[in-house]
Structure 1
Amino acid sequence: MTGFAPRHLARALSLLCLSIPLAQAQDEIVLRDGSRILGTVTAVRGGIVTIETGFAGTLSVQQAQIESLSAEGPAVLKLADDSVLETPALQVENRELVLPTEVASSRTYQLEDLSLVNPQAWELGQGYRWTGQASFALGMQRGNTDTDELDYRLDNTWRSLDDRYTLRINGEVDEANGVKNAENWSALGKYDQFLNGSPYYWGINASAEQDKFADLDLRYYVGPYLGRQFYEEPALTLSAEAGLVYVDENFILAEDESYQGANWSLHADSNILGGDSQLYLDHTGIWNLDQADEVILDVIMGLSFPMFMSIEGAAEVLLEYDSGAPDGVEELDQTYRFRVGYSW
């Protein structure tokens, strides 16, 4: 009887241990000041390591602040020299990548040499990344004046390591008491060729637009440009372009016109507000080189935010300025709208 209790106690403890699930292994980041962060490393991109934690949600850590890192699971590493390595786990000790000898037997890599972990196919030179959005804004009013308003927008971008294609379409149709009082559309197509993997690129763009209530039957332009992709990260995407265009304008009543022009554009967006929201700005300009006092400026700026799944809403302002507008047509057209769209 003296051995009965210990034997049963040992058996009970064994069953208890088996009934408790093993703690899930966690990734670990050790900062240069000695602080430790436990969680799951979800991304390494643009000098930022993203880790999902149970105590503070998603954290973004500068690579320059990291002393060591341990992340379980196989990983594909893209380095600053564009070489690609496969490793059974992402390990960093004393700011140096720990790699199996069969992966890198004759060279060591520092943490700052790491550009991407698990890059997408297009980032490895395989095909294009297609992003886009289709959206519309619909307004209806019934009463003393019946109004119907429809705005639509389609954005598409195809991006590879070497080049980029862009297609944008915007339009507006408004009616009051069954009579149209606004009808316009514009389309823009662009091709960009990056120079030897640098942020600089050259390109060609072509655009066409119509606005019957601004006496514009058709305006189109085409021309080359040079550009620079300053930033291309979620925190800030910024690009600017400048070039020359040939412009042809056909008016309904006013005299038709064609001229050589200087053309520029600016695009910026940022998720700095968090919550998957995005501030954005698109600006294009044309300066008539034959008549220096004539300039066309288009600006779209707004804030988009997710609603559910891939559906998002956006509040934006559209400004269209034409200093050479025909007589009887306002030089500045302002539109304020809220639109809903699908993003991919």
Structure 2
Amino acid sequence: MSQWHFNGLLDLLKDDLERETTPFREPISNKDRLAVCLRIGKSTVSQIIPQVCDALWRRLQPLYLAPPTEEDWLEVAAGFQDRWDFPNCVGALDGKHVAIQAPPNSGSTFFNYKGGFSIVLMALVDHRYCFTVVEIGSHGSSSDGGIFRSSDLGKALQRGDLHLPGPRPLPGTEQPVPHVIVGDEAFPLQNNLMRPYPGRQLDEPRRIFNYRLSRARRVVENSFGILASKWEIYQRRIKLQPHNIDKVIKATCVLHNYLIKTLSLVSHPAPEARAEARAGGVERLQPCGNHPSREAFNLREIYKDYFMSTGKVKWQHAACFGVAAV
């Protein structure tokens, strides 16, 4: 983090970090409190870290991670169309198991499929690698398929409470279709949530659809990669109480947005965006079963046909199959 960004954060947080001077000791300066937290120091700062993380979330969240409005969703949809060639897309969704040290007396509550202990971070990301919605706190022992269905995000999407824009025609067509979120096999196929076609022996239209969806969904993988590379706490098991882990994760997510938006990150992610695979403290969600509605199934078919006709891009066949179309 640059000195300019650090000083900007310090100015935002100064009222939250100020401590009273007593006759017995001088308080730790605001500058040192913020520096200690961002470096994730030793046990002597165990009280400072949650306090600063609370302040970071309280001050930055309304500015850099506020709930999206319909106008915000439309801006994201335009970005996914222009940058990732996936129209009517309002975000890419993924979740990660964040490795933690087993809390005392927690039994198997946080025990996950990899044989470790974790808390789940679920995030929706826009076309610029910024988080638009984050949800933290599901226990590692929860089934990955059930984590989304029981999450506030999953319930809001199912109820239609995310204030997504109404259906609009895909470019060059006349039939209105819903705006969608793209995810991988860990998420169910729903009216507003697209996932890949299952199986390996797929025909060309389905393979093209899967490629186009994967290309749009890659932004969330890159966002997690940037997050894990910038904040070393994700490189190993986090040794804090679960409620303080939630605070740390929320703080890193809002700092992620703060840095990207103030740095005006370019179209393509930096090399560290691919560091997720090397982050020892972050694991993928597992694929889940799926029983889609007829409407969701039909919507995926509409996208599949669109990508082979009006929405076709000249490079998709070569990118998917390694050879140019004849």
TM-score (norm 1): 0.26
TM-score (norm 2): 0.27
Higher helix share: 2
Higher strand share: 1
